[in-house]
Amino acid sequence: MEVRTSNLMDLIKSRKSVRNFSFKKLTQQAIKEILECGFALDENLNQPYRVNIVIHPTVKMMLAEVMPQYADIYETASCCLVVFLDLKKSDKRDSDILAIGAFVENILLAVHVLPEIGAVWLGIDSDIKEQINEIFKLSDKVYELMGIIAIGAVDEEVDNYKNIKQGKRRSVEEFTDWF
């Protein structure tokens, strides 16, 4: 079988989460282009999500207060994309959550192709969703927090050190069965 997308496959396989950023800022245009890559996938145009783009240090500090384990990430990231499921637009919850996952992965891949820029999709505990909604003055009856993506210029020195200490990813054989 001929594979025509080997460059794309290499890109996908080489993507990694980056948690160490320098204080360099991204332009609004760069952030918009990254978001457009996320939006490009939704064929039915329902787009049942809302994205709050956080660039202001005070708002990043508010996020850090709710999730202190990510304080360094929020402080140094150029921006954080706070992704919500818009419950008023959502008509098929499971499908809409999958669409948000694809939206986020497209954003992570878009960031990955930019030189010296990295990103991480931060997990969110259900017990803090209400606090995050309060930061943005959003009703939790209308918007459900799905995740936060931190994006910024990679701090190469710290990132290279941490990569040395990381283990390997599981092999495909470890989590698949053939029928």
How does pLDDT run across 165-175, given as a tens digit for each residue? 556 667 788 87
Q: Identify whether 1 is part of a domain.
A: no
Q: In DSSP terms, which residues pair with 85 in a beta bridge?
A: 49, 144
Q: What's 141's domain CATH number?
A: 3.40.109.10
Task: Give residues with Cβ within 8 angstroms of 162, minimum separation 6.
Answer: 19, 20
The range of the structural domain enclosing residue 154 comes to 19-159
For residues 155 and 20, what is the distance between their CA atoms, to the nearest angstrom?
5
The model carries a pTM of 0.83
Q: Identify whether 34 is part of a domain.
A: yes
Q: Identify whether 75 is part of a domain.
A: yes
Count of the separate structural domains present in the chain: 1
For residues 108 and 98, what is the distance between their CA atoms, to the nearest angstrom?
15
Q: Identify whether 14 is part of a domain.
A: no
Q: Identify whether 146 is part of a domain.
A: yes
Q: What is the 3-state secondary structure (H, E, C) of 4-71?
A: CCHHHHHHHHHCCCCCCECCCCCCHHHHHHHHHHHHCCCCCCCCCEEEEEECCHHHHHHHHHHCHHHH
Q: Identify whether 167 is part of a domain.
A: no
For residues 179 and 176, what is the distance between their CA atoms, to the nearest angstrom?
10
Q: How far apart are the first and last CA of the chain?
A: 21
pLDDT-based confidence at residue 41 (cuts at 50, 70, 90): low
Highest mean pLDDT: which range of 6-10, 38-42, 122-126, 165-169? 122-126
- pLDDT given at position 166: 55
Q: Identify whether 5 is part of a domain.
A: no
Q: Identify whether 8 is part of a domain.
A: no
